[in-house]
Chain A
């Protein structure tokens, strides 16, 4: 039987690939299995509940938070934790068993076909903004494909960000949508209305509507974030005072170990999705608090003896959020930029990132494309040095030395492959 053979193939290639030390074996095994049986993903999800998480930013973190929430009380949950977010990665994650609940991170473009294959019970739509324009499609095209796929999946419940017009358009034809006020700090890609080619007008509070008569308007959210009244302690990111509020009157604290407003938004999306899957939001948020790192992001590691806080940002929206997060810091910063296939080959987007915020910090530019970054920093008025080797760059950031007795922690931000390179070079503390 084709399906059994495909399963065996996937497991065998995964095992061999791991033994040979070629990565974690996730993509290779899945690819081999799909070659034997192109319907493998359908077969592997027939007898289980599946939740999909997609969007430009926050996929990996939200997937992890939702998987953690659904695992509350000891339920077995299976997930593509390594971030391989196309069908081979999904297959590789699912071959372990046939029935446990699955939470899958999905590439934005692959969402429609993965939705069709898995008949997912929940789809979480986070946000859409420019990312890797040489490799992926323009954001309106992606939103249009989401819309068509969700219209054809009437049994799927959608959890969608009500603050992002592109997401609202993409989710708008679905049968059941839970709208979440998850915020939107990058409006530049959604000034034109995705529905009618008119214009989206944003109020200072972030509410929005199309100025034409097409009717696209911000939906009323069932849950949102509110500042104040939470009683939590303020932390470096200034996010300690935020509570999650439901339209039914519930007010729940967000005691996350992960930093930043954007992670609170991710947690809220995950909590609403968890409730759709039968875990109440209070329990979900409580267990999510224990997640302190996701695939190495926000961890502090020792790189050649230097303490480095590792962060990942892949596109202008993500970089804006991270630069806001590290603005409270005063220590040195290493910025590492690559342009390999997984990053996108054209780093022109560096000019959409507000690097001006790094002025007055000690900055080291590194990565394969440090020369592009160096030119960008020159025009941003950010003094910096360039060091092509990322590990040497971290050491160089501390030249000047720490003045106080505490060990100096260097903020290290890289895009996808640059981050992974530094993560592998780092030693867990």
Chain B
């Protein structure tokens, strides 16, 4: 039987830590004054914002200091959520795998509905900000469906008939 690649159990706690860290970064950057350069740093990246602001273009090179607030938050939260979603459970067997597959299927379907919805009804820059969170939403929806089903199963299976 083909096995789904999963991370060791302790990655769940690393995931929780990373998600909390991204929340802390969010709170911290909100508390900083507008003039602060705390999250401005040089990075190795492709930057093309010529349609906007100052028209900066950098082709995968060490860039000028760039505002990394959103990048740090998105990176930490996505990595944390991924660790949470892909960490092994206490017991892994074929039924857990089938619940996992069911949860992934529904989360993909719901994401397609979400993308179709925002494509039809959201315009302008707001559209881009809705797009940022697609992978996060995919994993959050998957986790909710998976853990709700697991909880239901545990509740039903608590008593031996």
A binds B: no
